[in-house]
Structure 1
Amino acid sequence: MKSYQLTFKQRFPISLENAWDFFSSPMNLAQITPSDMAFIVTSKQDPDEKMYAGMIITYKVSPLLGIKLNWMTEITQVAQEKYFIDEQRFGPFKFWHHQHHFRAIPNGVEMTDILTYGLPLGIFGQMAHGLFVRKRLKEIFDFRKAKTTELFGVMA
């Protein structure tokens, strides 16, 4: 299986604690996901529940052409206010490993997303990656960057 990796960095003029509280809550993911994906968290989570290793989160999502898919991820590692990792257990990818890293910087916080993923269907998955998957993932993270900039502002 061929794997791919994308890295995204963003800086916010908010505290590490505020960044952690927002991004580590599965309930906030829908508001930073493009609306055309019809993203809905379907797992029954207490909005105040803190993320923990072993947490299972389920979603409905339409990544392409309005086709609805079920997606299940597990939070596999958590280091409070440093990083967390989610991995797909069921969904559209053959492999999905998403690291979210946080570090305090002067006047704010830097967040780094490292996404490593693989697609099903062998050569057809590789062709799909070149034709639209990579582009779509970049669009999703560009939207996320724009939305979080709207929510938190930009570093001066």
Structure 2
Amino acid sequence: MPVIRIETRIAATPERCFDLARDVDLHQRSAAASSERAIAGVTSGKMGLGDTVTWRATHFGVPLRLSSRITEFDPPRRFVDEMVEGPLRRLRHVHAFEAIPGGTLMVDVFDYASPLGILGAVADALVLRRYLQHFLERRSAFLKRVAEATA
């Protein structure tokens, strides 16, 4: 079961980073390369506890849908979204925000399981893990730029 952990130092308050990380509109802007769009549930604005969103995106040239729900919500320290329907066997994404000198340490913990048993494990080892890590790093860098530009 792969786990990807991304740590990003941001020169903005935890409150600012927390709000940006749960903003559906900002997520769509940060994921423009995969044409990610919110098509059901919360499709604009900020998400909160119990909210769901369904995303439509294109990854590896394949159109995909993924629905997730906010299952934990502790502003401005952390929130968790979990896949309720989608292409992976399991997905749990923890977003944590810790005040540090000069701003915030944002930590993403992306815990997932590939589908298709042994074939999925091979695909994960060859391609998927690196792809997802790069996707999360791009998103974190985008959020950092926005947070620091408006801090």
After TM superposition, is the score higher than 0.5?
yes
Equivalent residue number for residue 20 of structure 1: 18
In the alignment, is the contact (CA less than 8 A) between 2:6 and 2:137 conserved in 1?
no
Question: Could you state the TM-score of these two structures normalised by the residue count of structure 1?
Answer: 0.87
Q: Is 1:9 equivalent to 2:7 in the alignment?
A: yes
- Percent of pairs with identical residues: 25
Stretches of structure 1 lacking an aligned partner (at least 5 in a row): none
Stretches of structure 2 lacking an aligned partner (at least 5 in a row): none
Question: How far apart, in 2, do the equivalents of 1:97 and 1:126 lie?
Answer: 18
Equivalent residue number for residue 75 of structure 1: 70
Question: How far apart, in 2, do the equivalents of 1:14 and 1:36 lie?
Answer: 26
> How many pairs align?
149
RMSD: 1.8
Q: 1:104 and 1:27, CA in 2 relative to 1: closer, same or farther beyond 3 A?
A: same
Equivalent residue number for residue 135 of structure 2: 140
Give the 5 Å matches for 1:1-156: 3-33=1-31, 35-45=32-42, 47-48=44-45, 50-64=46-60, 66-153=61-148
**Deviation sequence 1:76-117 (CA, Å, 0-9, x none):** 110010100000011111000000001111121111001110
Q: 1:60 and 1:47, CA in 2 relative to 1: closer, same or farther beyond 3 A?
A: closer
Q: Tell me how far 1:13 sits from its aligned partner.
A: 0.5
Question: How far apart, in 2, do the equivalents of 1:47 and 1:120 lie?
Answer: 30
Question: How far apart, in 1, do the equivalents of 2:65 and 2:43 lie?
Answer: 20
Question: How far apart, in 2, do the equivalents of 1:96 and 1:67 lie?
Answer: 19
Question: Could you state the TM-score of these two structures normalised by the residue count of structure 2?
Answer: 0.90
Amino acid at match of 1:56: T
Q: 1:63 and 1:46, CA in 2 relative to 1: closer, same or farther beyond 3 A?
A: closer
